[in-house]
A and B are shown apart, each in its own frame.
Chain A
Amino acid sequence: MTMTLPYHRVNVLTGTKAARIIEDASEYAHLVKRAQRPLLVLGSWSLTTTLGGKLLIEYGVEIAKTLDIPICATAHTKKKLLELGVEPASSYDIIEILNHLKDPAWKGVKKEGNHDLVMFLGFRTDLGEQGLSTLKHYAPHLKTMTLCKFYYPHASYSLSNFRKDEQWKEFLDNLITNLKSKEA
């Protein structure tokens, strides 16, 4: 078996439990739809990364809107979300939301119970990978899913390293379409 290396080598896994790589948007959508209480966490790179002429955060908003998924706006993403007409369910910073998520008894951003699937979009990959490490070790009660174009070994589900942004855009567009579709 060849080992998949993360795009940024500083994130190389030193361990035995690595993410399942999924490249099929419908499979991702299926996992999201199956979740009882998904959460989308947005990081600062969603404000500076453009894809297909749009800011990454706009993809985040579209994904969230499909199934009314609550958003946790970390860093200073809240301001842009408000400009886009979206009120995030919470604005904990990244470490703070992780600190809550690792407690199975936490009530979640909507006070309905802790989340069972947490999606991450737009983080520095090193900070993202460290955060996912926390959840891998300390939050067996939930699954993590990354939406960026990089392989994240510490996630439960990750995309592979997309060589071209077009592939990533296509994936996100397909994910949104699949999430919108009524089929499970």
Chain B
Amino acid sequence: MAVAAKKKNLRKDTVNEIIRAEDNWEPVGHTPMPEIPDLRNWDMRLMKTYKPFYAPMCDLCCFCTYGKCDLTGDKRGACGIDISTQQARVVLLACCMGMSAHGGHARHVLHYLIEKHGRDYKINLGDQIFVEAPHIRTVLGLKPETLGDLEKAMDYVESQLIHAISSLHTGQEGSALDYESKALHISMLDHVAMEVGDIAQIVGFGYPTSVADTPLVDMGWGSIDKTKPTILLVGHNPVTAVPIVDYINEHGLQDKVEVGGICCTALEVTRYTDRAKIVGPLSRQLYFIRTGFADVIVTDEQCIRTDIAIEAAKVGTALIATTDKACYGLEDYSKRETDEIVKDMLDGKQTLIFDPDKAAEAAVRVALELAPKRKKELVTPEQVPDLAKDHRLCNMCSQVCPNLLPVGDAIEAAKNGNLQPLTEVFNKCIGCGKCEQECPRHVPIFKMMQAVAGSETWKVRAGRGPIMDVEIRKVGAPIVLGTIPGIIAIVGCSNFPEEISEVADIAEEFAKRKYIVVLTGCSAMAAGMKKDKEGKTIYEKYPPNFDAGGVLNIGSCVANSHITGAAMKVANIFATLPLRGNYEVIADYILNRVGACGLAWGAYSQKAASIATGCNRLGIPVVLGPHSAKYRRLYMSRKEEDDWTVMDGREKKLVDTQEPSPEHLITVVESKERAMVTMAKLCIRKNDTAQGRQIKLTHYIGLHKQHLGTLPDDLHLYVRKASDIPIFFKKEVMAYLEKVGWKEKPVLTLPTLIGTYPSEVPIESVVH
């Protein structure tokens, strides 16, 4: 046997063993545990239509000692790289970081839970979830049964990461498209890693599962009773947060100690106990730390301010760091006796404690001792003019504001007793503190915002984890036929361009229009930070079911895997397509038939880059807010110029549909209004029935008219037959179509890209 063939067989045997290929729950597809080259043709096919669009943040490359190299225009670096390849390289690096952050989190949780429960601990997501891990099933081909199986998924994910990162080295990849393909691969695996992390947490910590109406929990710093000892959790990983709650419960301290969280650990801990509070999203982190309300801060990982130890010390808050990702140069107290830790912390020592139980006990005991000795006062409106007395309107603060806010003018007004402009700044502030740091006259700008922040509280539904199989069974047909106009996934961080309330506005607009609205992370919090006239938030007004008009908090960042997982489950449960090692077929199904669209309105992190890129490989388009142009790369089509030919899977013939659906895989828009119009359009799919298309066009036209004043000028591209025209707009649409010389478009029974590019997948695989 030739060496290559032998090698291939050896790998096949290894894969078969890992995924227990002999278990015949589904036939094994063409790409179980794919390596970088295995889905490359799928990526290239996607990028034929959705070409990478680059907006370089930096014209130079500073990666190796040949450089700095100027790559402007058609120049190449000393190693030979050009500007596009360098952008793609940075994108891959970002995706590797993002995936590693989720993967590191998943590994840590898994390690902790395996120590606690053992490798054979069963995965059980309740009586409503049987397709427990659509990503692991689809990508690996494994049906995970135990925590040990989740380890196998992580082993595979990590093995791929080393190859991807090695390609970033100087003198490796020389093609932007190939770097993109690797970014798509790594980002696909990001969703596997997120799924591992969240499944482990659900089964290991006993989070709610197989239930839609999870409890409504309190949000806002006003919900923290500052007369009580307060522990603030910052980050994403619940490994220490859970033992803190356990310690409090075991010692009967539920009414004596407050536990609040910022960012995703808040979402995690409120899944564990509805007595915990969500202080707010990432953008409120520094603000809340500086109030000094927290007696103890416990950090874990990701999106924590890197100067948190300095900030905590400034306000006399004790600090415990708990993970190897973020140690802040602190002394390791993990092996010390808890009494000694508590004593040193009360003497002002900040500590690093890797033992979750010890960290939990120390946090609670220190909070109890420290709280009575601390003062917790907010700046009042009356104090503001005096605090601003040295201000001279130099506008240094405005110039460094990453959200381009007119901070100096707001301080000028505040100095004169008018706090309205400062309130407006606060509502758009992303919480970086740069304004105050830059002020040459040491005006405590950030602190002054305490006077305008208010202490309003809101209700947020606790994260619910995976969508239930029975829900998918109910909505599968309406989604694929188009009669539920789409799944709108509002995810990601709080680097919002305008008021934080825009997220609630967007979510509600789509909920009212009977889309299914799913949210995660800081966006899930932001959506709850607006009340109607009756004082109700969106979570109190709309049902929590995965159904038309539902508004669902899925959970933290790692719960994003359940959103993409829901799209996979539609293919599997509704369309009965096998998931197992069958990535191309599932992604192709979603791209052509599942009307889903993501929105990351305030994405800032590398995790957001890999989450979005993972959605893209799976055929889910994503809309980003204006800051995200700094991610450097989008995947865009040009609707009139590009070729929209697909295969008709049943007829086995190529059909030029002339229909740009979905138009882009990832794009940036400037305003909330444009975002809504774009999202409605990006839910259109070639598979829509006439009735479904009518409904989708009703919303696209309605939103376009509302915000842009006219019928869409690409409307003719989305009307295939007269029966697609929404009854409500019939007359004007007919008149428009006549004016532009519209003609009927070819009919299609089963749209697919399979068969339009080189692939081992036979066209029969898409027919279910």
Q: Which A residues have a C-beta under 8 Å from some C-beta of B?
A: 7-10, 13-17, 43-44, 73-76, 78-79, 82-83, 90-91, 93-96, 98-100, 103, 106, 123-127, 130-131, 133-134, 136-138, 140
Contacts and interface: CB of A to CB of B under 8 A. Distances in A.
B640 to A, nearest CB: 9
A103 B59 CA distance: 20
Q: Which 5 A-B pairs have the closest CB atoms?
A: A15-B59, A79-B709, A76-B673, A130-B629, A75-B671
A136 B58 CA distance: 12
A124 B713 contact: no
Interface of B: 53-60, 70, 72-74, 83, 399-402, 404, 497, 626-627, 629-630, 634, 636, 638, 641, 667-671, 673-674, 677-678, 707-710, 713
Contact of B626 (A7, A16, A17, A124): A124
Given A10-B402, A14-B59, A91-B708, A136 B73 contact: yes
A140 B74 CA distance: 10
A90 B626 CA distance: 20
Q: Chain B CB within 10 Å — which of A74, A79, A96 has the most?
A: A96
Given A14-B58, A15-B59, A123-B670, A8 B401 contact: yes
A124 B72 contact: no
Given A79-B708, A96-B636, A126 B627 contact: yes
A75 B670 contact: yes
Given A79-B709, A127-B629, A133-B57, A15 B70 contact: yes
A131 B53 CA distance: 11
A47 B243 CA distance: 51
Contacts of B678: 93
Contact of A43 (B670, B707, B713): B670
Contacts, number: 124
Contact of A75 (B57, B59, B673): B673
A133 B71 CA distance: 12
A14 B60 contact: yes
Nearest to B624: A95
Contact of A95 (B636, B641, B673): B636
B678 to A, nearest CB: 7
Contacts of A10: 402, 404
Contacts of B708: 73, 76, 78-79, 91
A181 B673 CA distance: 38
Contact of A91 (B56, B401, B626, B713): B713
Contacts of B669: 75, 93-95
B675 to A, nearest CB: 9
A73 B475 CA distance: 38
Contacts of A9: 399-400
Given A14-B60, A93-B670, A138-B54, A126 B399 contact: no
8 contacts: A14-B57, A15-B70, A73-B708, A74-B674, A93-B670, A96-B636, A127-B627, A130-B55
B638 A99 contact: yes
B630 A95 contact: no
Nearest to B59: A15
Given A95-B634, A100-B638, A131 B629 contact: yes
Scoring B55, B401, B638, B707 by chain A CB atoms within 10 A of each residue's CB, the highest score goes to B55
Nearest to B667: A95
A137 B56 contact: yes
B713 A90 contact: yes
B59 A16 contact: yes
A23 to B, nearest CB: 20
Contact of A78 (B404, B626, B710): B710
Nearest to B497: A124
Contacts of B710: 78, 82
A151 to B, nearest CB: 11
Contact of B636 (A73, A99, A127): A99
A133 B670 contact: no
Contacts of B634: 95
B57 A78 contact: no
A78 B413 CA distance: 33
B629 A95 contact: yes
Contacts of A14: 57-60
B600 to A, nearest CB: 15
Nearest to B677: A76
B709 A127 contact: no
Given A75-B669, A137-B83, A15 B60 contact: yes
Contacts of B636: 95-96, 99
A15 B56 CA distance: 10
A75 B625 CA distance: 12
Given A8-B404, A16-B72, 5 more contacts: A14-B58, A91-B713, A126-B630, A127-B670, A136-B72
